[in-house]
Amino acid sequence: MRAAPAILNRTMMVESAAVPGGNLERSLLERLAQALEEHGVPYCQWKGHWSAHRWAAGRGDVDLLVDHDSSADFRRLVGDLGFKPALRSGPRQIPGVESYFGYDPAVPRLLHLHVHYRLVVGAFWRTTYRIPIERAMLETSGPGTLFRVPDPTFQYVVFVLRMMLLQCGRPLLALGTHWRRSIQIQLDNLEGLTERQGLATVLSRHLSVIDLPFFDRCVASLRGGSGAIERALLPDQLHTRLRPYARRPRIAALLTATADKLLPVELRRMLADERMLPAAGGTVVALVGGDGAGKSTAATELSDWLGTDFAATRGHLGNPPRSLFTLAVGGLLKAEQQLNRMLRRVPRPASHLELLRYLCTARDCYLLHERLRRFAAEGGVAICERYPVPQMRSHVGPCIPALLPAQPTRLAKKLEAMEAEYYGRILAPDTLLVLRLDPELAVLRKPDEPADYVRARGRAVWDTDWTGTPAHCVDTSRPLPDVLKDLKALVWSAL
């Protein structure tokens, strides 16, 4: 029996999961751990103890095993703490496993809980195995540095099985040496914390398909102490013993995994996005405000923040992508203007071609709105700048009425009606965030633009009474980190 390294103790090598700077206020994960204890929910963190520095900062996930009978209590508890359930795409979903994301202002990324109601090991594109020892693991778990952790004997068993099952169908991995060296520290520590008689008892009582001699052969293989043929055959022998608990991947999962490996990232996201979807469904978030209020910066930050884990996109409805028809009309308008200059002809005010150009802009805005709405309907989060809202028609809205003469032609009236119809078909956003900034401060932030223009646009937002509307007003005269903190909290509550 190997002695346990002195630097690691029985609480399973967990580094402090407290978020830097979070001493004055408990972190979200600390509040979760305390709530689970107070409500008596049987659970434990069944793996990942060596990566506390990563998952406490939002890099990676916290793997929790929760008693199946307490799943309703767990879901209610994490919901009260602000965690949001998320779904993987169909082929990536594993039965008995759920994901939750939480927002902690002290952490730069979202916190990810990977919750198992059944102890399932393996990736979605490979054969997965349920190791039927959940209840015994939960009953013997004890306090860790942050979350409860299983007894070392159970951790030892699960770790060895996980490492061996990784090699099923991959004989070259079994014959390699690099990956074996990378697991020796964990293997040494867990073996040192495990009593031989306790190991035999756990296997015979809770996992009788794995006897102690076979388990010893697996450990020897992981240490490189067995022959090449033995190392190549053992994973398949383990698969045979665990076959009653195996779930083979579907064809769609294999195709998805192949795309993950072979296709470029952007094309892969178009065909089969690996990012998650909020379980409550997608949403459209609109950012409106005057020039200098920080709409573009906020939209970029929010889409990058959410886009790391969720399907998120960004759209600028004040400057939508131009269709081919719009480009053609724009080319004709430029040609008309050039001809007027060449002939020294005074252009007519609001020519039909100019009005048509504004109609094309309205159509492009509607088409972008349509794409963003479909994206949200499929479960994504759309972050939109300059979204047309009734209170802000001077920023994004119909432009033709202000250009019409006192006696417009029938064609001009028709173009006006069509433009109004396009903007009228744009639905209200699910969440409206108004970035309010004093117009004089906006002028200082935009020294390269005409002061009167910036002031007027800022005044349109500043003087609007937003009470009685679903808008959330955010003061953007404050430092950017404070503004982003409020915006992230509002967006997160809307998911």
Which tens digits make up the pLDDT trace of 240-283?
999 888 888 778 666 766 666 666 655 555 444 567 888 888 99
pLDDT band at residue 372 using 50, 70 and 90 as cut-offs: very high
Cα dihedral value 192, 194, 200, 205, nearest 10: -150
Which tens digits make up the pLDDT trace of 25-37?
789 999 999 999 9
Cα angle: 338, vertex 344, 346; to 5 degrees: 90
Radius of gyration, alpha carbons of the chain: 30
Tokens 């043929």 found at: 229
Longest dimension (CA), the chain: 102
Instruction: For CATH 3.40.50.300, list the domain ranges present in the chain.
Output: 281-324+361-401+426-494
pLDDT band at residue 341 using 50, 70 and 90 as cut-offs: confident
pLDDT band at residue 349 using 50, 70 and 90 as cut-offs: low
pLDDT of residue 342: 77
| Distance in angstroms (rounded) separating the CA atoms of residues 404 and 417 | 12
Q: In this structure, are residues 238 and 165 in contact, taking their beta carbons and an 8 Å threshold?
A: yes
Cα 428 versus chain centre, distance: 24
- Nearest Cα neighbor of 127 from 96, 88, 169, 174 is 169
pLDDT: is 57 or 283 the higher one?
A: 283
Q: What is the DSSP letter of 143?
A: -
pLDDT at 19 over 70: no
Q: In this structure, are residues 49 and 103 in contact, taking their beta carbons and an 8 Å threshold?
A: no
pLDDT of residue 495: 87
| Distance in angstroms (rounded) separating the CA atoms of residues 52 and 187 | 18
Q: Helix, strand, coil proportions of the chain in percent (round to 5)?
A: 50, 15, 35
What is the chain's mean pLDDT, rounded? 85
- Can you tell me the mean pLDDT for 206-229? 90
Identity of the highest mean pLDDT range in 8-22, 97-111, 180-194 = 97-111
Overall fold of domain 281-324+361-401+426-494: Rossmann fold (3.40.50)
pLDDT band at residue 51 using 50, 70 and 90 as cut-offs: confident
